[in-house]
Structure 1
Amino acid sequence: MKFTVFLSGLLLLLLLDWTESVEDDNVDINTLARIINFIEENYKRVDGDQHPRQYATAINVPKNQCQKNFIPSQNSFLTQEDAANVKNAITDDTKALYQGAELIAAGTKKVVISKKKQYNMHSESLLLNPADNSPMTKLLNKRKDGCSVLFSFESPCLDTCLDASGRHSILRGLENWKEHSGIKAFVFKNFWKFDTKKDLQAKFKQIVAHVPLYRCVSENQCYACKGEGNTPIDAHCLPPAEN
């Protein structure tokens, strides 16, 4: 009888320890919503026409700042970053990149090949490339076990960012990020307008293979996209099905 009670107690302790370990490795989803709201309020890219445009940010902060009950504020979160400097950098399409102490950010960079040919480098690619020496690599090296969150205003595009063979692919960068200790979260808000009728289910699984994927749609609502192994991507993280 005593041995059975002992075993039961031991199993309970192991279960509690495992549960706490799992929680320590994942961002608290309510805290994540507050973090993304803080980023949107302070660093969102809004161009001269007053319309928001695509941008992406990544942070590497102490682990506790992604856990339960943390409330980001000007006095407690990303205190070394100046919002005006961030926004000025990411709206300048000749560079479109900001690299700070705990935050990096990018808009879209105009690349001119000739008078008749130019293209825009996407913000996620600017943060994650070149994969072995990217702004993200340098940010992650500053705090080896911190909480790292990458937020993209619009979902990574399928034809460039998630094209495994493309030179602007972010997949190798995500593979490197996977090796970083601590909490990790890749977050997006809106769907890239040219991808809403494509197979996002399969492509988003490429992200999930490396880091957890989330969609945050408001200051108090985020969704875990799931998609690990044979688990499908959650419907909240996919465009609504057409009738």
Structure 2
Amino acid sequence: MFLSGLLLLFLLPVWTESVDAETVDIGTLARIIDFFEQNYKRVDEDKHPRQYATAINVPKRQCQKNFSPAQNNFLTQEDAVNVRNALSDDTKALYQGAELIAAGTKKVVNKNKKYNMHSESLLLNPADSSAMTKLLNKRKDGCSVFYTFESPCVDSCLNATRDHNILKGLENWKKHRGIKAFVFKNIWKRDLEKNLQTIFKQIVAHVPLYRCVSEKQCYACKGEGNTPIDTHCLPPKKIKDEL
């Protein structure tokens, strides 16, 4: 009996870790992000894509290996035209559906001060009653994927001293059961010189971080504990000219 108890104590941490470590299939994730890009991406009259973010809470099997999202089997309750129209409306810039939420950028005038509220903040704030919180409450153990076209900005979204930062929203998301993935495509142009190796760890502290660059290629950014952020998720290193 004593030996059996020791064996159970030895195995328990391993079992617990394997349950907590359940992650999205990387190939399926690439197809999901491509589905977003094909159906919801904001492209204005100048033909240039604009910043947007979207999040889903779907059955776990839709994030596992061999699932291929299509119009007839994925987010079937959402109308792509309605999503795109919402993203293009700068006065609201927010869509809330059955399994999907999405945001563009919202023009705000506050005490004669004008600024754009970022799409990540629109979805994750206020943290305890955000669109993301409401979405997660609809399916307690579903697969939740948050995708932003540009990486969250260092000066606002990932700055704990700013009112519209997303860190509390990420902390709340961490509590959600099921598969989780925070995904970005491009690195925000104003952050190319920032120390993203350190700053991105603020995301990884709560949810797994990924970068998806095409319909066939996503990268796990890693960064847990002392593990560094994968170089695929960082700006390319500048090559100094040889003298």
Q: What is the TM-score of this pair, normalised by structure 1? A: 0.90
Alignment of 1:4-15 (within 5 A): none
1:89: which partner in 2?
86
In structure 1, give the amino acid aligned to 2:153.
C
Of the three residues 27, 32, 36, the one matched with 1:35 is: 32
Q: Give the C-alpha shift of residue 23 in structure 1.
A: 9.2
Of the three residues 116, 121, 127, the one matched with 1:125 is: 121
Residue 215 of structure 1 pairs with residue 211 of structure 2: yes
Q: Give the C-alpha shift of residue 165 in structure 1.
A: 1.7
Q: What is the TM-score of this pair, normalised by structure 2? A: 0.90
Is there any run of 5+ residues in structure 2 with no aligned partner, and where?
A: 1-6
> Root-mean-square deviation (CA), in Å?
2.1
* Secondary structure, counterpart of 1:194 in structure 2: helix
Of the three residues 58, 72, 86, the one matched with 1:61 is: 58
Q: Give the C-alpha shift of residue 113 in structure 1.
A: 2.8
2:23: which partner in 1?
26
Residue 76 of structure 1 pairs with residue 108 of structure 2: no
Runs of 4+ residues over 2 Å off in structure 1: 17-24
CA distance in 2, matches of 1:61, 1:74: 14
CA distance in 2, matches of 1:22, 1:41: 33
* Secondary structure, counterpart of 2:228 in structure 1: coil
Residue 227 of structure 1 pairs with residue 231 of structure 2: no
Aligned length: 231
CA distance in 1, matches of 2:55, 2:147: 6
1:7: which partner in 2?
none
CA distance in 1, matches of 2:195, 2:146: 22
1:179: which partner in 2?
175
- Percentage of identical aligned residues: 78
Residue 109 of structure 1 pairs with residue 106 of structure 2: yes
1:152: which partner in 2?
148
In structure 1, give the amino acid aligned to 2:26.
I
CA distance in 1, matches of 2:172, 2:148: 18
